[in-house]
């Protein structure tokens, strides 16, 4: 992906998206012995980075395509991004979501005017159902991650981070299907190839990790975990070549480590972030990423989570509360 595709994407979406802030925390810095810079995409419109890619894709539609509407498959955040972007243009949207999608994401998607269809246990089943709908009705499919226009939209986070923190040594990014990390890594490596890009997956959905290191199944039969936004059974055809080229390392984190990061963010930053959004934080707090320098950027990818899950997060976090993780 060329840098000009990402800069053009920012021009298309800048009037609608938030330029999200970068926060620091003395507590997290003390725990890690690093200077951490949190890119707060949980404060983005619709509560997630996904708006960027969806908005960029929908801004490229022709009038004829707009008239036929759009269809998408999503674990939740992409759904809201598509629904919001379509509503801005008066376009009909139909979203297929896994049956276990948090209620907060379903309700928000419907509130933006989309028709929601719940089907399948994971993104993959929802995706297949959405493809059948697209064939039948001729709507434009807005892919959650495996589309260069969508990836370019997500890559605008990389542009912003380097404008806000040009001195970063590394950036840590969650991975589901790979659209976020592919876009951000493309931008970062073209602007400053010395910056390390580290990906993070849930232990219960490690398709990109397996493929990157050629270990285990590259296509998973089952995914599970609390980070529903990154529970994807396989990486994208378009995303993985960029991951292989531009990403330096991928690690996995457990549900306990993710839950601990969620609770610590709530206690110290007064931010209730979702599992996928906390995964990059969990990777650093757990000490799984070594030799990445002093100044570390973390993409907090989203904050759409059901409040009634908080007691469960707290119960499993007790088994993995972070101590100082770097010497």
Which of 50, 57, 105, 189 does the annotation list as catalytic?
Answer: 50
- Distances from the Cα of 27 to the Cαs of 35, 36, 83, 180, 232, in angstroms? 10, 10, 37, 27, 32
Q: Which residue has the tokens 């619709």?
A: 46
Would you give the DSSP letter of residue 139? P
How would you class 110 by CB atoms within 10 Å of its CB: exposed for 0-12, middle for 13-18, buried for 19 or more?
middle
Which of 206, 286, 301, 320 does the annotation list as catalytic?
Answer: 301
Pairing of strands 70-73, 140-141: parallel
189 is an active site residue: no
Q: Taking a C-beta distance cutoff of 8 angstroms, is the pair 114, 78 a contact? A: no
50 is an active site residue: yes
Q: In which element (H, E) is residue 284 found? A: helix 275-285
- Cα separation, 19 vs 220, in Å, equals 35
Q: Taking a C-beta distance cutoff of 8 angstroms, is the pair 52, 157 a contact? A: yes
284-299 b/e (C-beta count within 10 Å ≥ 16 → b): bbbbbbeebeebbbbb
* Sequence-ordered list of residues with C-beta below 8 angstroms from that of 11, at least 6 positions apart, any chain: none
- Cα separation, 182 vs 200, in Å, equals 13
Nearest Cα residue to 239 out of 272, 199, 205, 269:
199
Say what the alpha-carbon torsion angle 269, 273, 277, 278 is, to the nearest 10 degrees. Answer: 60
The radius of gyration of the chain's CA atoms, rounded to the nearest angstrom, is 18
Q: In which element (H, E) is residue 182 found? A: helix 179-191
- Cα separation, 234 vs 52, in Å, equals 22
Q: Taking a C-beta distance cutoff of 8 angstroms, is the pair 275, 301 a contact? A: no
Catalytic residue numbers read 50, 301
């Amino acid at each position: 992906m060329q840098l000009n595709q990402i800069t053009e994407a920012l021009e298309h979406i800048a009037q609608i998206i938030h330029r999200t802030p970068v926060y620091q925390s003395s507590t997290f810095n003390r725990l890690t012995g690093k200077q951490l810079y949190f890119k707060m995409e949980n404060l983005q419109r619709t509560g997630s980075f996904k708006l960027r890619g969806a908005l960029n894709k929908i801004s490229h539609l022709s009038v004829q395509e707009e008239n036929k509407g759009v269809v998408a498959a999503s674990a939740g955040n992409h759904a809201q991004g598509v629904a919001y972007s379509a509503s801005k243009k008066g376009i009909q949207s139909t979203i297929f979501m896994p049956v276990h999608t948090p209620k907060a994401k379903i309700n928000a998607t419907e509130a933006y005017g989309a028709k929601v269809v719940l089907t399948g246990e994971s993104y993959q089943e929802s995706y297949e159902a959405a493809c059948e709908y697209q064939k039948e009705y001729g709507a434009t499919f807005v892919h959650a991650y495996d589309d260069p226009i969508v990836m370019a939209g997500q890559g605008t986070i990389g542009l912003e981070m380097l404008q806000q923190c040009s001195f970063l040594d590394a950036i840590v990014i969650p991975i589901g299907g790979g659209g976020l990390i592919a876009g951000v890594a493309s931008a970062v490596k073209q602007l400053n190839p010395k910056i390390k890009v580290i990906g993070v997956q849930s232990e219960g959905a490690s398709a990109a990790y397996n493929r990157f290191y050629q270990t285990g199944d590259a296509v998973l039969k089952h995914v599970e975990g609390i980070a529903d936004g990154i529970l994807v059974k396989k990486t994208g055809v378009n995303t993985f070549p960029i991951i292989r080229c531009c990403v330096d390392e991928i690690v996995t984190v457990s549900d306990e480590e993710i839950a601990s990061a969620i609770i610590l963010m709530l206690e110290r930053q007064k931010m209730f972030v979702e599992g996928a959004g906390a995964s990059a934080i969990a990777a650093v707090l757990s000490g799984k990423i070594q030799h990445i320098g002093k100044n570390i950027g973390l993409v907090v990818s989203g904050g759409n989570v059901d409040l009634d899950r908080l007691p469960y997060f707290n119960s499993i976090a007790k088994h993995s509360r972070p101590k100082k993780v770097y010497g």
